[in-house]
Amino acid sequence: MSATWPVIQSVRGAWLALCRHPACKTQHLIGFSAELHEVERLAAAHMKDIQPPQPTRDALAEVLNRLTAARAAQGLSLRQLAARMPYRSSAVSAWETGARTPMLDALAAWSDALGYRLTLIPIGDNRP
């Protein structure tokens, strides 16, 4: 757990977990218990809820890298690619450099402009 959030402290014989994560906007109580391990469990569960799992970030990075490589392979400039999309070349540049994260509709427009389609493929027991 981070040193900044959550904050776990003892107050009058009970353990408190306070969240100060920027995604939560305000400091708030996660939970309290006489048992430290229970408060640590509650804090860990809360942190998991507000942070996307690492594989999601890795998967997004892979998609962004592939789209960037596809643009380069097709010999398109940022302006040429942006002309095929409802976005400016500065937005595409920010996505490619990682300065900003594109939303799903932007990813779809970006992939369509390069001749690709984003597809959801079921795995394991998630098949319809």
3-state secondary structure 11-74: ECCEEEEEECCHHHCCCEEEEEECCHHHHHHHHHHHHHHHCCCHHHHHHHHHHHHHHHHHHHHC
Q: How far is CA 128 from the centre of its chain?
A: 26
- Number of domains the chain contains: 2
Q: Can you tell me the distance from the alpha carbon of 31 to that of 41, in angstroms, rounded to the nearest whole number?
A: 10
Same domain, 60 and 19: no
Residues ≥6 apart with Cβ < 8 Å to 118: 63, 104, 107, 108, 111
Same domain, 61 and 73: yes
Residue 40 structural domain: 7-50
Q: Is residue 121 part of a domain?
A: no
| Short-list 35, 5, 31, 33, CA closest to 20 | 5
Same domain, 37 and 71: no
Same domain, 34 and 65: no
Q: Is residue 38 part of a domain?
A: yes
For residue range 39-75, what is the model confidence (pLDDT) as tens digits?
Answer: 788 888 877 777 655 556 677 888 899 999 999 999 9
| CATH classification of the domain holding 71 | 1.10.260
Name the helix (H) or strand (E) containing 110.
helix 104-113
* pLDDT at site 1: 40
Does 2 score more than 50 pLDDT? no
Q: Is residue 108 part of a domain?
A: yes
Same domain, 83 and 68: yes
**List of long-range contacts for 13-17, beta carbons under 8 Å, 24+ apart:** 15/39, 17/42, 17/43, 17/46
Same domain, 81 and 95: yes
* pLDDT at site 126: 59
* Average pLDDT of the residues of the chain: 81
- The answer to whether 18 and 28 have CB atoms below 8 angstroms apart is yes
Q: Is residue 1 part of a domain?
A: no
Same domain, 71 and 106: yes
